[in-house]
């Protein structure tokens, strides 16, 4: 305890010293970091962003079915977005709704027969859009006819004296090829021609989407002895019988 000496007024010639006690000094409190940490509120954590809700299949279907038919590359790009979109675009029902809306299937390109070095004709696919490269349809294959989404190809034999008729029906959309039974003719025809048609008759097919319908191939051959041969091949699932 400290004491302070104070002088009190006295009569002249006399001085009295008095001692007055001081109030005790308050101790200095230092901050406790642990206590401060307990009292301070915890920092807020950033909430993760909410995922964007996916579009329903019906909405995606309604958007893609409005793609212009002259640019089928848009449908190809849409199919590469994810598996769900690819399933929607490749669904037969979507293809049918697309054709019903635009009243015409998209034109992917055309076929032309180009002679090679051996003067054999090979069908080449020339795309109208720029998403598919130009390539040969088949090895020594000549385009004979194209109708209802299918192409009839004639595989030219290596032996020019061979009478074999190897015909293949090709679907350019699915890239499926179905070989027809080999025809054995008694002689090489002087001229011949064939056509591929949709076999859905009696209102069973409206020719908007013939990929799932059966087909038929009609072959007419004329020989030098004025004999005309007509052959009809009708497809059946899963095989083709004459």
Per-residue pLDDT tens digits for 149-194: 788 888 766 555 555 668 888 887 777 888 888 776 655 666 788 8
**What percent of the chain is helix, strand and coil (3-state, nearest 5)?**
15, 35, 50
Task: Give this prediction's pTM.
Answer: 0.56
pLDDT higher than threshold 50 for residue 133 = no
Average the pLDDT over 212-224 and give the result. Answer: 81
* Digit-coded pLDDT (tens) for 3-24: 544 444 555 555 555 555 555 6
Residue 183 belongs to what H/E stretch? strand 183-184
Report which DSSP code applies to 159.
Answer: S
Residue for token digits 């675009």?
A: 89
User: Is the distance from CB of 209 to CB of 148 less than 8 angstroms?
Assistant: no
Alpha carbon of 77 to those of 67, 86, 131: distances in Å? 11, 9, 9
Q: Is the pLDDT of residue 79 over 60?
A: yes
- CA-nearest of 148, 242, 154 to 197 is 148
């Amino acid at each position: 305890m400290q004491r302070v000496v104070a002088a009190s007024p006295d009569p002249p010639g006399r001085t009295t010293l008095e001692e007055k006690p001081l109030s005790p000094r308050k101790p200095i409190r230092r901050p406790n970091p642990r206590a401060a940490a307990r009292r301070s509120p915890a920092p807020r954590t950033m909430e993760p962003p909410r995922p964007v809700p996916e579009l329903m299949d019906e909405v995606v279907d309604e958007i893609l079915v409005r793609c212009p038919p002259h640019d089928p590359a848009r449908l190809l790009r849409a199919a590469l977005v994810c598996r769900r979109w690819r399933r929607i675009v490749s669904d037969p029902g979507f293809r049918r709704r697309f054709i019903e809306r635009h009243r015409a299937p998209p034109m992917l390109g055309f076929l032309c027969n180009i002679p090679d070095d051996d003067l054999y004709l090979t069908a080449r696919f020339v795309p109208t859009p720029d998403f598919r490269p130009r390539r040969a349809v088949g090895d020594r294959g000549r385009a004979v006819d194209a109708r209802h989404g299918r192409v009839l190809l004639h595989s030219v034999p290596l032996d020019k004296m061979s009478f074999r008729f190897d015909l293949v029906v090709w679907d350019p959309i699915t890239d499926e090829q179905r070989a027809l039974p080999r025809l054995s003719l008694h002689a090489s025809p002087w001229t011949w021609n064939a056509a591929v048609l949709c076999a859905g008759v009696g209102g069973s097919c409206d020719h908007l989407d013939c990929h799932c319908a059966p087909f038929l191939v009609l072959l007419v051959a004329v020989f030098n002895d004025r004999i005309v041969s007509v052959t009809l091949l009708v497809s059946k699932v899963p095989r083709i019988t004459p």
